Structure 1
């Protein structure tokens, strides 16, 4: 088995993907069970150099950050719905100071120690699903989902406790 080097620490396997928590407004959001990947794409801008017009060159252009989805089972906690409702508040102006949130994604190792942390910047809810298709004959769990638009993300190193294994 190959040894992975993570933060200078040798590991025999990568961190498991189910050991994570999501925070906003300085508290963990209870029961988030699934989160999509953090992904960014930078457009390649093609141009020619006058000294070599037979070839094109590439330079970095606009960077786009894909939306992130958060899912959890429906509970009595209304924070998903309250945040999503700030975008669509009939008859009242959008509260910009509460609309955007910075989210923190903390990743933990098998021992429960925080090893990675990412900050998602200036997030707001573009899609909200409060109930799935209802089927009395099914045995599925009712899941609610937020689709969150963001303006960037980066590793949030000051909050991470580095643990040796």
Structure 2
């Protein structure tokens, strides 16, 4: 008697590597600004927006708190990178220190391992609000890190 057809009820095989949808890794990403060449950073935070609720009492109703949406607020974008000899971003910050605030539109760009753009956040009317230089310690072997904070008036994922 010959073997009959095989019936597989369940398959628990792992997906093939090429079929997986991995999240984008934190490769160095770009800051792109109007009039300033691209700058590569290793860390970024502040890509968020929120609206606090405003609580109030309506008329003489003492039992229910009513809520209204407040103004939308955008967080400061904070960027960190190893210090370089490129002075373009420092000059932009120095202009603000000297009272010449120059607002710029810009983008934070996430790239894959091959350098292709995978995600982008565009901000508008940004200007530098803080620059923190590196902590220098001659006995350590850490990379000297500088931080740039940017205030802005709008954020879109593009």
Give the TM-score band, short-chain normalised.
0.7 to 0.9
- TM-score of the pair, normalised by structure 2: 0.75
Matched, 1:100 2:109: no
* In 1, Cα distance between equivalents of 2:38 and 2:115: 17
- Structure 2: give runs of 5+ residues left out of the alignment: 1-14
Checking the alignment, whether the CA contact within 8 Å between 2:27 and 2:112 is kept in structure 1 is: no
Tell me what 1:47 maps to: 56
Structure whose CA Rg is larger: 2
Kindly provide the CA deviation profile for residues 4-54 of structure 1, in whole angstroms up to 9, marking residues without a partner as x.
xxxxxx953322233532101265533322211412221101133449653
Provide the rounded CA distance (Å) in 2 between the counterparts of 1:45 and 1:23: 36
Superposed, 1:20-39 pairs within 5 Å as 20-25=29-34, 28-39=37-48
1:138, CA displacement in angstroms?
Answer: 0.7
- Structure 1 residues 26 and 83 mapped into 2: Cα distance closer, same or farther (>3 Å)? closer
Gapped regions of structure 1 (runs ≥ 5): 4-9, 157-165
Between Structure 1 and Structure 2, the one with more strand by share is 1
- Aligned residue for 2:7? none
Contact 1:31 1:73 in 2 (8 A): no
Match in the other structure for 1:160: none
How many pairs align? 141
Going from structure 1 to structure 2, the CA distance change for 1:19 and 1:72 (only over 3 Å counts) comes to closer
Point out the more displaced range, 65-74 or 21-30.
21-30
Q: CA RMSD in A?
A: 2.5
What SS is found at the alignment partner of 2:65? strand
* CA distance 1:61–1:38, shift in 2 (3 Å): same
Normalised TM-score (structure 1): 0.72
1:75 aligned residue: 84
Q: Structure 2 CA distance, aligned partners of 1:40 and 1:11?
A: 31
CA deviations over 1:126-153 (Å, ceiling 9, x no partner): 11123x2221111111112111111121
The aligned counterpart of 1:133 is 135
Q: Is the 8 A contact 1:44 1:59 kept in 2?
A: yes
Following TM superposition, by how much is the alpha carbon of 1:110 offset from its aligned partner in structure 2, in angstroms? 4.5
Q: What corresponds to 1:15 in structure 2?
A: 24
